[in-house]
Structure 1
Amino acid sequence: MSGIKEVAKQANVSIATVSRVLSKPETVAEKTIKRVLEVIEDLNYQPNAAARQLRMAETTTILVVVPDITNTFFSDVLRGIESVALENGYQVLLGDADNNAEREKGYLSILRQKKAAGMILLTAGIEANIVEEIASEYPVVLACEYLEGVNVPTVSIDNVSGARKATEYLINLGHKRIGFISGPMNSVLGRDRLKGFYQAMAQYSLKVEPDLVQEGNFSYKSGLNMMNKLLAYSHTPTAVFAANDEMAFGAVNAIEQKGLAVPQDISIIGFDDIKFSSIFKPALSTISQPTFDIGTKAMQLLIGLMTNQKMEKTQYILENRLVLRNSCGKWSS
Structure 2
Amino acid sequence: MPNSAPATIDDVARIAEVSIATVSRAIHTPDKVAKTTRQRVNQAIAITGYTTNAMARSLRMGRSNMILILAPDIGDPNFSTTLIGLENEARAHGFGVLIGHTQNDPERGLEYLKFLSSGQAAGLVLFTGHEPFGHQVIGQRLPPSVAVFEPVFGSKTSYVGVDDTAGARKAAEHLLSAGHRRIAFIGDAKTRLGHQRRRQGYDLALDAARIPPDHRLVLEGDGTIESGRLAVEQLFMRDTLPTAFMCVNDATAVGVINGLTARGYDLPRDFSIIGFDDVPQATYVNPALTTIRQPRSAIGRQAMALLLETLAERPTERREILIMPDLIVRGSVTGPARR
TM-score tier, shorter chain, comes to 0.7 to 0.9
Which AA in structure 1 matches 2:176?
A: I
Q: Structure 1 regions of 5+ residues with no counterpart?
A: 1-49
Is the 8 Å Cα contact of residues 57 and 114 (structure 1) preserved in structure 2?
no
Q: CA deviation at 1:126?
A: 3.3
CA deviations on 1:222-267 (whole Å, 9 max, x unpaired) are 1112222223323211100010001101111110000002210000
Q: CA deviation at 1:101?
A: 5.5
* Aligned twin of 2:20: none
Does 2:83 match 1:78? yes
Of 86-95 and 307-316, deviating more is 307-316
Q: CA deviation at 1:157?
A: 2.0
Identity over aligned pairs, percent: 33
Q: CA deviation at 1:124?
A: 1.8
Does 2:189 match 1:184? yes
Q: Structure 2 regions of 5+ residues with no counterpart?
A: 1-54
Is the 8 Å Cα contact of residues 139 and 302 (structure 1) preserved in structure 2?
yes
Is the 8 Å Cα contact of residues 245 and 277 (structure 1) preserved in structure 2?
yes
TM-score scaled to structure 1, two decimals?
A: 0.74
Task: Tell me the secondary structure at the aligned position of residue 83 of structure 1.
Answer: helix
Does 2:148 match 1:143? yes
Which AA in structure 1 matches 2:276?
A: F
Is the 8 Å Cα contact of residues 183 and 189 (structure 1) preserved in structure 2?
no
* Aligned twin of 2:241: 236
Is the 8 Å Cα contact of residues 157 and 318 (structure 2) preserved in structure 1?
no
Does 2:85 match 1:89? no
CA deviations on 1:243-300 (whole Å, 9 max, x unpaired) are 0001101111110000002210000000011122123221111111110000011111
* Aligned twin of 1:4: none
Task: Tell me the secondary structure at the aligned position of residue 289 of structure 2.
Answer: coil
Which AA in structure 1 matches 2:116?
A: L
* Aligned twin of 2:265: 260
Of 95-104 and 200-209, deviating more is 95-104
Of 206-215 and 250-259, deviating more is 206-215
* Aligned twin of 1:170: 175
Task: Tell me the secondary structure at the aligned position of residue 240 of structure 1.
Answer: strand
Distance 2:208 2:216 in 1: 20
User: Which of the residues 271, 278, 283 maps onto 2:276?
Assistant: 271
TM-score scaled to structure 2, two decimals?
A: 0.73
What is the aligned residue count? 280
Distance 1:102 1:214 in 2: 31
Distance 2:267 2:224 in 1: 20
Distance 1:308 1:197 in 2: 38
* Aligned twin of 2:226: 221
* Aligned twin of 1:61: 66
* Aligned twin of 2:38: none
RMSD between superposed Cα atoms in Å:
3.2
Is the 8 Å Cα contact of residues 66 and 123 (structure 1) preserved in structure 2?
yes
CA deviations on 1:179-198 (whole Å, 9 max, x unpaired) are 11115320101211112112
